[in-house]
């Protein structure tokens, strides 16, 4: 279990580092745009000069023969935006303990900027579920991880602004083990009281999350984030006769989809700058 968790952490960190490194070595935009565009204009001028003018349109030809000024394109605007790693904790999981006292969750989130709009995001967490009443006793614990991307829709007022309004998609994976040390099935009509236990069982689950939310820089490099997400189960190896009460990271064990919300507090480590090149040409209007 611990080995799987450590393996997941190392793979996720490696992926994030890869994203970050790749983001820094972004290829520069081709510098010869201006030459490439001016060439055809010169060529056409030469071609026109080479063609002998006919009598009837000699005036027009003379007009055309005049050298046209070369169409120059403005060079791309190149600037740098801050890039870095944002690491945080989902504090809504602690509030959840008040509503669902049988579950204890800890969730860590991290995201790194890949380019101007795209962020790679991972999330890792732990869940422990413990419930006991007159009918049964349940114990379970497990780990989960999600990995995905967030797309930032916010039009920035300043290139250094790090606030986000995002939508994203994640793939989630959880491994959970659970058991019922004792249960009772009472039938009032038949006057029966059956007791039993369910042995420790392990299960894995895979799901997809669609999420959206905001991240706001409340203090310098200190962020507050709010988000909602819909989780859709892809597959679960849980036994139909005994599904877990809680699947770590997903939620209720007997549901195929689950709505959830997050409230994160995170710190941003400014590690690198990302080169962004944008065309300064006015966008063509559609006819």
Partner 1 sequence: MKYIPGLIAILLMSVFAACEDETKTCDQTLISDLGINFKRDTLDGFIIKDTIWPKVTMYAIGKDTIVNRQPRSSVFVALNPLADSSMFYLRLDSAAVADTLIFRYARKPNFVSAGCGFATFYTLDTVICTFNTIDYLRINNKEVNSTNDTHVSLYYIR
Angstrom distance (rounded) from CA 174 to CA 157: 39
- 256's CB contacts (< 8 A; 6+ apart) are 232, 233
Residues in contact with partner 1, counted by CB under 8 A, come to a total of 33
Interface with partner 1 includes 131 (CB under 8 A)?
Answer: yes
Q: Let me know: does 270 contact 82? Beta carbons within 8 Å.
A: yes
Q: Which of 11, 12, 269, 268 is nearest to 123 (CA)?
A: 12
End-to-end Cα spacing for the chain: 61
Please identify, among the stretches 12-20, 64-72, 155-163, 251-259, the one whose residues bind partner 1 according to the rule CB under 8 A: 251-259
Interface with partner 1 includes 99 (CB under 8 A)?
Answer: yes
Angstrom distance (rounded) from CA 265 to CA 269: 14
Pick from 251, 266, 274, 275: which binds partner 1 (CB under 8 A)?
251
DSSP letters for 50-63? HSPPPSTTHHHHHH
Residue number, 75 or 101, with CB nearest to partner 1: 101
Interface with partner 1 includes 133 (CB under 8 A)?
Answer: yes
What x-and-dash track marks residues 153-192 binding partner 1 by CB under 8 A? ---------------------------x--xxx-x-xx-x
Q: Please give the structure tokens belonging to residue 24.
A: 């820094």
Q: What angle do CA 173, 177, 179 make, to 5 degrees?
A: 150
Residue number, 49 or 257, with CB nearest to partner 1: 257
- Indicate the helix (H) or strand (E) that contains 144: strand 136-152
Residue number, 151 or 198, with CB nearest to partner 1: 198
Pick from 126, 198, 267, 272: which binds partner 1 (CB under 8 A)?
198
Q: Considering the complex, what minimum distance in angstroms separates the CB of residue 174 from partner 1?
A: 17
Pick from 45, 100, 104, 115: which binds partner 1 (CB under 8 A)?
100
Q: Let me know: does 247 contact 235? Beta carbons within 8 Å.
A: no
Contacts with partner 1 by CB under 8 A lie at 96, 99-102, 131, 133, 135-136, 138, 180, 183-185, 187, 189-190, 192, 194, 196, 198, 228, 241-243, 245, 251-252, 254, 258-261
């Amino acid at each position: 279990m611990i080995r799987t968790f450590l393996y997941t952490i190392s793979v996720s960190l490696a992926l994030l580092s890869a994203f970050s490194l790749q983001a820094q070595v972004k290829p520069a935009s081709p510098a010869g745009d201006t030459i490439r565009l001016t060439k055809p204009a010169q060529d056409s001028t030469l071609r026109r000069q080479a063609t002998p003018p006919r009598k009837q349109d000699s005036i027009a030809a003379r007009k055309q023969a005049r050298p046209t000024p070369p169409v120059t394109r403005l060079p791309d605007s190149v600037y740098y935006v801050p890039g870095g790693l944002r690491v945080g904790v989902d504090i809504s999981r602690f509030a959840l303990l008040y509503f669902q006292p049988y579950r204890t969750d800890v969730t860590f989130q991290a995201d790194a900027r890949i380019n101007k709009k795209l962020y790679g995001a991972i999330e890792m967490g732990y869940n422990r579920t413990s419930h006991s009443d007159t009918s049964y006793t349940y114990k379970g614990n497990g780990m989960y991880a999600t990995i995905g991307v967030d797309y930032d829709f916010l039009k920035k007022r300043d290139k250094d602004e790090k606030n986000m309004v995002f939508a994203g998609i994640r793939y989630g994976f959880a491994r959970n083990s659970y058991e019922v040390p004792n249960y009772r099935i009472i039938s009032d009509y038949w006057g029966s009281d059956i007791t039993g236990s369910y042995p420790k069982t392990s299960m894995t689950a895979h799901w997809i999350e669609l999420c959206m939310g905001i991240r706001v820089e409340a203090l310098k490099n200190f962020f507050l984030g709010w988000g909602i997400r819909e989780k859709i189960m892809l597959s679960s190896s849980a036994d139909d006769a005994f599904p877990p009460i809680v699947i770590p990271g997903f939620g209720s064990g007997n549901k195929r989809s689950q709505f959830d919300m997050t409230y994160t507090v995170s710190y941003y480590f400014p590690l690198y700058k990302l080169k962004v090149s944008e065309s300064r040409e006015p966008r063509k209007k559609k006819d």
